[in-house]
Amino acid sequence: MVLQRPSRVYFSVMAVLPSFVLFLLLVIPAFAKEPITFEEISEQAARAVAQDRSNDAIRLFRAGLKLHPGWAEGWWSLGTLFYDQDRFSDAAAAFRRFLPLTPKRGPAYAFLALCEYETRDLDQSLRHFRAWASSGWPGTRETIDVAVFHFALLLTREGKFVEALYLLTPEVVKMGNTPALTEAMGLASLRMRNLPEDCPPERREMVWLAGQAAAYAEHFPPDYARADEYADRLLVHYDTQPEVHFFRGTLFNFEKKNSAEAEREFRKELGISPDHVPAMLELAAIDLGDDNLEEASTLAKRAIQVDPQNAEAHHIMGRVWLAKDQPEPAAAELETAKRLAPTSSNVRSHLAIAYGKLGRVQEAKAEAALAISLKKKEDVPTTPQEKLKLATEPEQR
Amino acid sequence: MIGLPQQRKTLCRRMSLLVKMAFLVLTMLATSEAGHATTPQSFQQLSAAADRARERSRDDDAIQLYRQALALRPESAECLWYLGLLLYAKNQFFPARDALRTFVALRPETGAAWAFLGLSEFQVREYARALDHLRRAMATGMGDDEDLKQSVFYSVSILLSRLEQYDDSIGMLGAIVNTKQCDDVIIEADGLAGLRMPLLPSEIPQDRNELVRLAGKGVCAAQQGRVDDALKSFTTMRDSFPKEPGVHFLVGSFLMNTRPEEGIAEMKRELEISASHVPARNRLAEQYTKSGQYEDALKSAREAEKLEPKNFSVNITLGEALLAKGDTAEGIKELETARERAPENTRIRWDLARAYTAIGRTEDAKREKQELERLQQQNNFTDAKQE
């Protein structure tokens, strides 16, 4: 093909070029512009970065790293340069090389996790976001915002919807209802284990409406009127879809409105999704509050049957036994709840009551003391990230 | 018909496109490759074999050979380009995206590459990035391939709606229908933008298909100046879907210039359905200002401001109402806030130039006029490039 001809000529020239270049380098060293020593290379690489010559910088860092593979700063710079060019696979490789070379791994975990998100290595990405969180959520404001957003998306995919919303809320307060945040809020609010990129197209409007409603409810101050407007639109078109009524009920509870409205929505959700554990638990808590112990007991038992590892289900069951003045089964349920949620002050305080009723005074005292200490920690004003730390670390779950 | 390549075009068409695109970049590549240190024969052999395979339509072989060549020379722009295009043509959008990303990092001046990158990102549903890169393709220029340009324009317009930039979307679609029929594809896109639904055509719920179609027919007819057809579609839409959010706003916007009383009534009806509808309040305020009802204008604009305090369009409306009412100082303050939020907006510059002139701030007025001219020239240049 004629179009290829110039290229072929060029390749032929290139075949003899190395010998010619070598000749020049040997005969006239002053003509050699490429840096030779590591120091020269690193200096020129830094200059290329400062002058925004990314491709030159990449070439120079690569050359420097060939000479000194243990050059931590080189790997870091190479990673960030690739990241800025959206070359996430190359960036991830550089950050992986950087990590063992540095004691300060925090920001690199965030960048590596972001790269892995982009290359769809999602489990690894979540693991590295958790490592980033464990190292204190370090980074610039911009890095933290981007990392928190993607961390939240992966928590949603993992089914950790409350934790995801916890992370997204401060971003909404800061940035408002951006399209990306709205979508992320919608997915978590509707308890959909999807990333935005794989949300089924037919559910897009539903996600957007729920996201708008959730986001306006999280504004500071909250804009409940607008939240209700979107939630009502959601109901108009998606009345029969799973999760919609649970979301509406949660929003009613959030707005501290008449719980009868919330209760009605939770019951509707159970009508659509008979195995909906969070709806069962919301209703069981309402029944418990209203002293409808049999109904509360039925719902809590059913919730345990569907999801035996749900701490709140065991907690409510324990509270039902306590309300029925049966401390022995209450203690058994609450001990299970404690095992599943060791940092819950409410579980500890109810367990203390159960032990007290059983005459196990020392254990009751110990649990009560722990409940107080945990409650104090819960009440200390802290960033959502710090509060989330325990919730998002896998070993704590 | 305009559409996404994956959905609309045959493989033959794509392959023809590949050849055309190859022509666009080959001259540039021929010189750029010379800057690299030479590599063993094997790279040369592999890339030549890949070229031969590609020319003989043995795409799978070509892809494999380009990959092998790139393993030896990862930043060979020529190999990246052909690999990206071949993968795109085979609907392998993730690897196509990755190859094209590396290519544009090396050759950012190649508009067609930004276009294919953006289209690949569109396919893997990275919509925000797709929009950025498709816009970059438009700004850089994409050669003379009309199909590629139309695909890019169409994709940008539907992405703008998806990302809630409805007015920009309508603007883009308006430019497309200047030279085209209102076909189903355009009608869908116009309908979504007109109703302010943040969805792609593939995401339209089944029970809203007819609503979107009627809205789109109306918008498209209006864009082509077929006023009677537009009114007919809008009336049918309003009568069939009187309670759907966005319907009365769309009808009201259409009527506002020719039948302002009816336009106002439609906007009010919209606010009964969508209490927090900011554009409806803004449009009402504009109309009230036009008809000298300044207190009503200010009330409506203030309500809009309360709902969206950082919306520059609301600052403009408020500023214009205050100026018209004679409260020049406050009006200028609002417009200056708007300018801070949207420095590239020509309407703000025009308003400010007039307001400064009115109170004798001639230097400020001069500066705004200069800026207005610069922005207009810039817009003309961009338009010309996109043409």
Q: Which region among A301-305, B21-25, B138-142, B359-363 has the lowest average model confidence (pLDDT)? A: B21-25
Torsion angle (degrees, nearest 10) of CA B54, B60, B65, B67: 120
Estimate the crossing angle of helix B11-32 against helix B111-123, to 10 degrees.
130
Nearest to A55 among B38, B105, B276 (CB): B105
The pLDDT score that the predictor gives to residue B376 is 86
Distance from CA of A375 to the nearest CA of B (A): 37
A180 touches chain B (CB under 8 A): yes
Kindly list the residues from chain A whose CB atom is less than 8 angstroms away from the CB atom of residue B305: none
The pLDDT score that the predictor gives to residue B357 is 95
Kindly list the residues from chain A whose CB atom is less than 8 angstroms away from the CB atom of residue B102: 85, 87, 90
| Tokens, residue B17 | 């496109």
Nearest to B101 among A54, A87, A237 (CB): A87
Determine, for residues B37 and A204 on separate chains, whether the beta-carbon distance falls below 8 Å. Answer: no
- Domains of chain B, start order: 1-163 (1.25.40.10), 305-387 (1.25.40.10)
Percent of chain B with pLDDT over 70: 87
Is B222's pLDDT higher than 50? yes
Percent helix / strand / coil, chain B, rounded to 5: 80, 0, 20
For domain A294-379, the CATH architecture is Alpha Horseshoe (1.25)
| Tokens, residue B113 | 């590459």
Determine, for residues B51 and A3 on separate chains, whether the beta-carbon distance falls below 8 Å. Answer: no
ipTM: 0.86
Topology annotation, domain A30-121: 1.25.40
B261 touches chain A (CB under 8 A): no
Determine, for residues A18 and B48 on separate chains, whether the beta-carbon distance falls below 8 Å. Answer: no
Buried b (16+ CB within 10 A) or exposed e, A81-100: bbbebbbbebbbbbbbbbbe
User: CA nearest B24 in A: which residue?
Assistant: A3
B interface test, pick of A78, A86, A115, A226 with most B CB neighbours within 10 Å: A86
Query: What does the pLDDT look like over A326-348, one tens digit per residue?
Result: 999 999 999 999 999 999 999 99
Query: What does the pLDDT look like over A160-178, one tens digit per residue?
Result: 999 999 999 999 999 999 9
User: CA nearest B30 in A: which residue?
Assistant: A7
Kindly list the residues from chain B whose CB atom is less than 8 angstroms away from the CB atom of residue A179: 128, 162-164, 198
Range B113-140 average pLDDT: 97
Q: How far apart are CA B131 and CA B165, in angstroms?
A: 11
Determine, for residues B26 and A3 on separate chains, whether the beta-carbon distance falls below 8 Å. Answer: yes
Q: How far apart are CA B371 and CA B353, in angstroms?
A: 10
Percent of chain B with pLDDT over 90: 81
Q: Is the dihedral of CA A295, A296, A300, A301 positive or negative?
A: negative
Q: Which region among A102-106, A388-392, B155-159, B243-247 has the lowest average model confidence (pLDDT)? A: A388-392
Predicted confidence band at A48 (pLDDT cuts at 50, 70, 90)? very high
Is A33's pLDDT higher than 60? no
B interface test, pick of A5, A7, A8, A56 with most B CB neighbours within 10 Å: A7
Residue A382: other Cβ atoms inside 10 A: 12
Kindly list the residues from chain B whose CB atom is less than 8 angstroms away from the CB atom of residue A237: 205, 207
Residue A329, SS3 per DSSP:
helix
Highest mean pLDDT among A18-22, A137-141, B85-89: B85-89
Predicted confidence band at B384 (pLDDT cuts at 50, 70, 90)? low
The pLDDT score that the predictor gives to residue B3 is 39
Nearest to A197 among B38, B126, B162 (CB): B126
B29 touches chain A (CB under 8 A): yes
Percent helix / strand / coil, chain A, rounded to 5: 80, 0, 20
Q: H or E element: which one contains A119?
A: none
Is B253's pLDDT higher than 60? yes
B2: left (phi over 0), alpha (psi -120 to 50) or beta: beta
A4 touches chain B (CB under 8 A): yes
Kindly list the residues from chain A whose CB atom is less than 8 angstroms away from the CB atom of residue B202: 201
Is B34's pLDDT higher than 70? no
Determine, for residues B125 and A6 on separate chains, whether the beta-carbon distance falls below 8 Å. Answer: no
Burial of A220 (0-12, 13-18, 19+ CB in 10 A): exposed
CB B113 within 8 A of CB B31: no
Kindly list the residues from chain B whose CB atom is less than 8 angstroms away from the CB atom of residue A176: 310
Query: Is the pTM for the entire model greater than 0.90?
Result: no
B95 touches chain A (CB under 8 A): no
Alpha carbon B305 to chain centroid distance?
Answer: 26
List Cα–Cα distances, A2 to B22, B34, B63, B76, in angstroms: 12, 20, 21, 21
The pLDDT score that the predictor gives to residue A45 is 96
Range A351-369 average pLDDT: 96
Range A232-249 average pLDDT: 97
Distance from CA of A202 to the nearest CA of B (A): 5
Residue B2: CB partners within 8 Å, gap ≥ 6?
B8, B150, B151, B153, B154, B176, B180, B183, B185, B186
CB B201 within 8 A of CB B216: no
Give the residue with greater pLDDT, A300 vs A388: A300
Determine, for residues B101 and A11 on separate chains, whether the beta-carbon distance falls below 8 Å. Answer: no
Predicted confidence band at B27 (pLDDT cuts at 50, 70, 90)? very low
Is B33's pLDDT higher than 70? no
B interface test, pick of A10, A11, A24, A223 with most B CB neighbours within 10 Å: A11
Kindly list the residues from chain A whose CB atom is less than 8 angstroms away from the CB atom of residue B18: none
Residue B330, SS3 per DSSP:
helix
The pLDDT score that the predictor gives to residue A326 is 97
CB A201 within 8 A of CB B203: yes
Mean pLDDT for chain B? 89
B71 touches chain A (CB under 8 A): no
List Cα–Cα distances, B58 to A94, A208, A332, B94, B157, in angstroms: 34, 44, 69, 21, 35
The pLDDT score that the predictor gives to residue B7 is 41
Chain A with chain B: Cβ pairs closer than 8 A: 91
Determine, for residues B128 and A179 on separate chains, whether the beta-carbon distance falls below 8 Å. Answer: yes
Nearest to B245 among A15, A54, A233 (CB): A233
Q: How far apart are CA A121 and CA B254, in angstroms?
A: 49
The pLDDT score that the predictor gives to residue A145 is 95
Distance from CA of A265 to the nearest CA of B (A): 23
Domain with CATH 1.25.40.10 in chain A: 30-121, 294-379
Kindly list the residues from chain A whose CB atom is less than 8 angstroms away from the CB atom of residue B274: 229
A89 touches chain B (CB under 8 A): yes
Question: Residue type at A375?
Answer: K
A175 touches chain B (CB under 8 A): no
B275 touches chain A (CB under 8 A): yes
Mean pLDDT for chain A? 88
